[in-house]
């Protein structure tokens, strides 16, 4: 069982930066694949970034490559999403999710993740 709590969201101007945190509790966190997803108003939830249990493998949606960086600190049971050069289209509720299953590659579908946080709002003004 893994419990996830996101933080770090807020209001930022276009071109600015934010760092989101996903704090986890539960014995299986250090072996879990973690993903960040986002859901804009009126749109479906979409994959943003993912990181393997070791932190050695990550993947990003094309829309955020080169601007977002995912990392994890298993000693602190925390995963981070550093977001730079933010755009108004990045406005959404951001969720972290954990998958305790073993994957070849990084899962990007919602149903491939077992645990979800409540989300944190990110608003980018133009």
pLDDT tens-digit series, residues 99-111:
988 888 899 999 9
pLDDT in tens, 46-73: 999 999 988 889 999 999 999 999 999 9
pLDDT for residue 26: 81
pLDDT for residue 110: 95
pLDDT for residue 121: 98
**Helical (H) or strand (E) element with 22:** strand 18-25
- CB burial string 48-79: b at 16+ within 10 A, e below: bbbbbbeeeeebbbeebeeebbbebeeeebbb
**Statement: residue 27 has pLDDT above 80:** no
């Amino acid at each position: 069982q893994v419990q996830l709590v996101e933080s770090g969201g807020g209001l930022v101007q276009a071109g600015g930066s934010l760092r989101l945190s996903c704090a986890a509790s539960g014995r299986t966190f250090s072996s879990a694949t973690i993903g960040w997803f986002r859901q804009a108003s009126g749109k479906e939830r979409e994959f943003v970034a993912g990181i393997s249990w070791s932190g050695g493998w990550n993947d990003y949606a094309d829309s955020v490559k080169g601007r977002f960086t995912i990392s994890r600190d298993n000693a602190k049971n925390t995963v981070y999403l550093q977001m730079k050069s933010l755009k108004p289209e990045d406005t959404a509720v951001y969720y972290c999710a954990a998958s305790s299953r073993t994957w070849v590659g990084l899962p990007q579908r919602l149903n491939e993740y077992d645990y979800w946080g409540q989300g944190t709002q990110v608003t980018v003004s133009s």
